[in-house]
Amino acid sequence: MNLFTGSGVAIITPFKKNEVDYDAFKRLIEWHIEEKTDAIIVFGTTGESATLSIEEKKKVVEFAVKIANKKTQIIAGTGTNDTSVSIELSKYAEKVGADGLLLITPYYNKPTQRGLYTHFKAISEHVTIPIILYNVPSRTGVNLLPETVLELSKISQIKAIKEASADISQIAKVIEIVPKDFIVYSGNDDQTMPILALGGKGVISVTANITPRLIHDQVIGYLNGEQKWIESALKTRELHQVMFIESNPVPAKAALNLMGFIEKDVRLPLVELEEKNLETLKKVLTKYQLIGAQK
């Protein structure tokens, strides 16, 4: 199975009265398929993986695979800071038909580079589907260095990395030293075009939660040599910015609520968007004609 090129959405997990809202989740998955999203990444950071139980994660990935029905790729964010739990979730995701795995660097533990390599290698030995590494030091407190990525790229199942270090120099070095068939995805929406210009093949996007067709068209258009999509990406700057006006995924959920898709519920310790930030969000969504888009 080849991993996607283009736009993968780091999809939110909709809640209603603190339970996963599967009706809303089904609507979102079907909408992303209609809007040409190239992959749906379930229970990543944006999917509030930190407050989903193991059993909820298993149910979510099985549900997503069933609803997508191979019309788009389903990638499961099975990485945790416990290698044995990551293995359990990864094996289950493969068993129920996920197309790939997203494995974040272990957070809080602060492993060494040797520890990171050994962690990912251990998981890879229990699955056969493609693995995407996920480097986001601002969230995890540990940075997966280019030299370690190079060593991990030699493991057959490890096919790609979602780079959200925000360090363009580091990302450029990764692209420079890894094999040509190893995929680098942007993990920050506002850095997608620079990363594509360096040789990246797509984005795992937060903004695609609210504008999936636009993000897909920008990435695929640019990769096809259509320079007009650079201007389009520049015009999307405010959307990317407002998606992080508070901790992700709080703004994305508030936006989808205003668009008519979901309840705005998040799980503690996250709380709903502050009123002043909600007003800013409304102004930006109105500018892009997104308010009430699905009502």
Q: Phi then psi for 40, rounded to 5 degrees?
A: -115, 120
- Cα separations in angstroms, 103 against 9, 75, 92, 136, 287: 15, 10, 14, 11, 36
pLDDT at residue 291 in the model: 83
pLDDT tens for each residue of the chain, 295 residues long: 789 999 999 999 999 999 999 999 999 999 999 999 999 999 999 999 999 999 999 999 999 999 999 999 999 999 999 999 999 999 999 999 999 999 999 999 999 999 999 999 999 999 999 999 999 999 999 999 999 999 999 999 999 999 999 999 999 999 999 999 999 999 999 999 999 999 999 999 999 999 999 999 999 999 999 989 999 999 999 999 999 999 999 999 999 999 999 999 999 999 999 999 999 999 999 999 998 655 4
For the domain made up of 6-229, the CATH class stated in words is alpha beta
pLDDT at residue 293 in the model: 56
Q: Is the pTM higher than 0.95?
A: yes
Given the DSSP bridges, would you call strands 39-42 and 6-10 parallel, antiparallel or unpaired? parallel
Separation of alpha carbons 201 and 192, rounded Å = 9
Burial class for 144, CB neighbours closer than 10 Å (0-12, 13-18, 19+): buried
Where do the structural domains in the chain lie, given as residue ranges?
6-229
pLDDT at residue 292 in the model: 64
Helices 113-124 and 83-95 sit at what angle, rounded to 10 degrees? Answer: 30
pLDDT at residue 294 in the model: 58
Separation of alpha carbons 101 and 126, rounded Å = 12
Provide the annotated active-site residues.
Answer: 134, 162
Cis peptide before 212 (omega within 30 of 0): no
Range list of H helices, the chain: 22-34, 54-68, 83-95, 113-124, 137-140, 146-152, 168-177, 192-198, 212-223, 228-235, 237-242, 250-259, 275-287
